[in-house]
């Protein structure tokens, strides 16, 4: 496994392989890797001969009052995990490599970034879209894998790739949960044992809504109410708890077509997100 830090070295390594016809699969990450990330790398390996993973804590997607400085970082631990899952190249750029002096281009995806996390994290998706477009420009992946855990992010990247006519296949990989149901996240490391128990109300609520959906309920308010009841019991006030169309992310009053229920809430100081896809787009 090669660890590469500069744009020039990355291109010098990848382009000859690409000219030989090898497919490149790409997993962008911010490090602090857990089993969820590793499942993305394994998914990329199913689509490509060369698997590139980037580790870059992207400052432009953090707001001024967010956790950029305390975001968990563990490069050595990450590299050890990536070696285990057959990563070919780790790209670990500095801020100057991704945003060299004079950098002035940003990417804005309009509608799917509105509401949900977009309403609570102004500028976040512009930062994500900008860094992912930059990483795609460096890596030129055939396939890029993103987790369904960050559902609005995945939808934003799909929209970016479609609208800018990028030759990248975007693959969404299923959300990975701890055995007790908590969605895996690098931010779970911040939770105290009591907060971790409280945090379980998010997945419990979503599962309750999913059960009601499976039993035939299609009224969005009632499905949301079922999830809300679990949050109320745990004393958690969600930032949002919504039913949205699974591809356009338009808010829905009825769960008649492809749809996803999404939640975000703060538990202590930690902001957590989770979702369940009630019906996948065909
Ligand atoms: O999901 C993440 O870890 C980040 O948002 C990403 C896609 C690596 C962009 O910085």
pLDDT on residue 23 = 98
The CATH number of residue 18's host domain is 3.40.50.620
Ligand 1 pocket check for 231: Cβ under 6 Å: no
Same domain, 135 and 199: no
Question: Is the domain of 10 the same as that of 146?
Answer: yes
Mutational pocket test of ligand 1: of 61, 91, 113, the residue with most ligand atoms within 8 Å of the beta carbon = 61
Place of tokens 């500069």: 6
Q: Please tell me the residue having the least CA distance from ligand 1 atom 9.
A: 128
180 belongs to a structural domain? no
Q: What is the span of the domain harbouring residue 168?
A: 2-173
Any idea what the CATH number is for the domain that residue 257 is in? 3.30.1300.10
**Any domain includes 282:** no
Tell me, using a 6 A CB cutoff, whether residue 128 lines ligand 1.
yes
pLDDT value at position 52? Answer: 99
Residue 232 · residue 196 · CB < 8 Å: no
pLDDT tens-digit series, residues 42-96: 999 999 999 999 999 999 999 998 999 999 999 999 999 999 999 999 999 999 9
- The string of DSSP codes covering 102-118 is T--------STTSSTHH
pLDDT at position 159, please?
98
The verdict on residue 178 lying in a domain is: no
Half-sphere exposure of 246 (CA within 13 A, CB side): 16
Best residue among 117, 150, 151, 188 to mutate for probing ligand 1, ranked by most atoms within 8 Å of CB: 150
- Which of the residues in the chain have pLDDT under 50? none
Among residues 115, 144, 173, the one where a domain terminates is 173
Predicted confidence at residue 272, as pLDDT, reads 98
What is the pLDDT, as a whole number, of residue 219?
A: 98
Q: Which pLDDT belongs to residue 69?
A: 94
Q: Are residues 101 and 199 in the same domain?
A: no
Q: Is 150 in the pocket of ligand 1 (CB under 6 A)?
A: yes
Q: Is the CB of 126 under 6 A from ligand 1?
A: no
Pair 159, 233 in one domain: no
Q: Which listed residue (13, 34, 37, 47) is catalytic?
A: 37
Between the CA of 233 and the centroid of ligand 1 the distance, in Å, is 32
In a domain, 179, yes or no: no
Same domain? For 103 and 58 the reply is: yes
- Overall domain count for the chain: 2
32 lines ligand 1 (CB under 6 A): no
Element (H, E) at 277: strand 270-279
Whether 120 sits among the annotated catalytic residues: the reply is: no
Instruction: Kindly state whether residues 162 and 232 are assigned to the same domain.
Output: no
**Residues 100 and 226 occupy one common structural domain:** no
* Three-state SS at 87: coil
Which residue is associated with the tokens 């699974």? 246
Find out whether 164 and 133 touch, Cβ atoms under 8 Å: yes
User: Which has the closest alpha carbon to 37: 81, 73, 74, 7?
Assistant: 81
pLDDT value of position 263? 99
Ligand 1 pocket test, pick from 92, 128, 135, 271 with the greatest ligand atom count within 8 Å of Cβ, gives: 128
Establish if 100 belongs to a structural domain.
Answer: yes
Measure the CA–CA gap between 165 and 249, rounded to whole angstroms: 21
Q: Is the CB of 132 under 6 A from ligand 1?
A: yes
Domain end (from 173, 205, 227) = 173
């Amino acid at each position: 496994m090669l660890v590469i830090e500069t744009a020039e070295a990355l291109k010098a390594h990848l382009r000859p392989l690409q000219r030989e016809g090898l497919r490149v699969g790409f997993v962008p990450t911010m490090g602090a890797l857990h089993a969820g990330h590793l499942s993305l790398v394994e998914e990329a390996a199913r689509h490509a001969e060369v698997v590139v993973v980037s580790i870059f804590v992207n400052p432009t997607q953090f707001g001024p009052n967010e956790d950029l400085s305390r975001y968990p970082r563990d490069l050595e631990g990450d590299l050890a995990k990536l070696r285990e899952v057959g990563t070919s190249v780790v790209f670990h750029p500095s801020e100057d490599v991704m945003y060299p002096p004079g950098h002035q281009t940003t990417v804005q995806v309009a509608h799917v970034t509105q509401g949900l996390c977009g309403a609570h994290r102004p500028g976040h998706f512009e930062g994500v879209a900008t860094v992912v477009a930059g990483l795609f420009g460096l890596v030129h992946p055939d396939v890029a894998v993103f987790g369904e855990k960050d559902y609005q992010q995945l939808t934003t990247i799909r929209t970016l790739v479609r609208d800018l006519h990028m030759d990248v296949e975007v693959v969404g990989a299923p959300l990975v949960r701890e055995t007790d149901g908590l969605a895996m996240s690098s931010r779970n490391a911040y939770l105290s044992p009591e907060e971790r128990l409280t945090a379980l109300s998010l997945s419990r609520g979503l599962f309750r809504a999913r059960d009601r959906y499976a039993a035939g309920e299609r009224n969005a308010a009632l499905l949301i109410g079922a999830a809300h009841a679990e949050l109320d019991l745990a004393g958690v006030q969600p930032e949002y708890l919504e039913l949205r169309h699974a591809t356009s992310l338009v808010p829905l009053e009825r769960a008649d077509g492809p749809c996803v229920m999404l939640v975000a809430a703060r538990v202590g100081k930690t902001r957590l997100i989770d979702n369940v896809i009630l019906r996948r787009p065909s």
